[in-house]
Amino acid sequence: MGIRPLCSVSFRSWLLYGVDVNWQKNCAALIPCLDEAASIAAVIPAVKSFLPNVLVVDDGSTDGTGDVAREAGATVLRHHQALGKGTALRTGWDAALERGFEWTLCMDGDGQHAAADIPKLLARGARGDVALVVGERMHAPNTMPLVRRITNRFMSWQLSRLAGVRLADTQCGFRLLHLPSLARLQVTSDCFEIESEVLIQFARARFGIAFVPIQVIYGDERSKIRPLRDTLRWWSWLRKQNALRCNR
């Protein structure tokens, strides 16, 4: 299958949105967290300056992340044990839909995503031709740690081939999603591969995907990714996706 440019993706006639979107009313920020008490108190007020409704899914933290997030003004949903980033995101998406939101702005709680970039994602979503907007860091790759840069490029290449569209940054969790579109898909991953799965599902459904450049921020935060286990899980997921494509 050849790779087609994203701008050629066709859209379903029922996908009507993006005209005069009231983001403060119709979009909730969603932050999945695992042991982010040291950073989440600063993240939430910065996000609330753009989106007043902030949902934090505390995925079994043991450092009081949920209490800190609640004190900072977020609505907190808690898993009593760590179930994985994918499960945390799915919990948040379900909660946002139940509360009547049409969009979610997903971002990490460790300070790696700059709230100042939120208007860029909202502005792209407001154009009305896409259902998913993803932050793109590869415009400034030299500011990323070498291992992450190589991994991201390799995964983005693999997923672009699988999706049949060019995907500039497949591992960035800073994303604006149209919830009614997401609800029509079968997203089931429990862990970090959910970010790859969402892209594949949106591409296969021929919903619009766009990328916008964002700041590249790396500090002292520790990645929650377990290199061996999560890499093996991602490869297993990728093999299944390739098999599904071959059976179509």
Query: Closest Cα to residue 27, out of 185, 175, 189, 197?
Result: 175
pLDDT of 4 reads: 39
Q: Dump pLDDT digits (tens) for 113-167.
A: 999 999 999 999 999 999 999 999 776 666 666 666 777 677 777 788 877 888 8
Q: Where are the domains of the chain?
A: 18-246
pLDDT of 147 reads: 66
The model carries a pTM of: 0.81
pLDDT of 12 reads: 44
Query: Closest Cα to residue 216, out of 118, 105, 114?
Result: 114
DSSP class per residue in 5-68: PGGG----TT----SS--HHHHEEEEEEESS-HHHHHHHHHHHHTT-S-EEEEEES-SSSHHHH
Q: Dump pLDDT digits (tens) for 171-203.
A: 899 999 999 999 999 898 888 888 889 998 999
Q: Dump pLDDT digits (tens) for 7-65.
A: 433 344 334 444 578 999 999 999 999 999 999 999 999 999 999 999 999 999 999 99
Q: Domain 18-246 - what CATH class?
A: alpha beta
